[in-house]
């Protein structure tokens, strides 16, 4: 069985990246998924 993932042509990483999510998500639709380690959330 294959598992596939499709990602938009945009990848953001670094300090303050979580704060940029509203602007990034604005052009991608109404729903999203954020995968982050506990250290990122803290």
Q: Which pLDDT tens digit goes with each residue over 24-37?
A: 778 777 777 777 78
The phi, psi pair for 34, rounded to 5°, reads -115, 125
d(CA 42, CA 27): 27
Instruction: Say what the pLDDT of residue 21 is.
Output: 81
Sequence spans of domains, the chain: 17-42
* Stretch 16-31: mean pLDDT: 80
pLDDT band at 8 (very low <50, low <70, confident <90, very high): low
> Rounded to two decimals, what is the model's pTM?
0.43
Residue 42: the pLDDT is 67
Q: Which two tokens stand for residue 29?
A: 């639709």
Name the residue with higher pLDDT: 6 or 19. 19
The answer for residues whose C-beta is within 8 angstroms of residue 18's C-beta and 6 or more apart is 34, 36, 40
């Amino acid at each position: 069985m294959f598992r596939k993932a499709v990602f938009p042509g945009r990848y953001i990483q670094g300090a303050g990246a979580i704060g940029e999510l509203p602007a990034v998500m604005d052009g991608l639709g109404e729903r999203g998924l954020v995968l982050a380690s506990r250290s990122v959330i803290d």
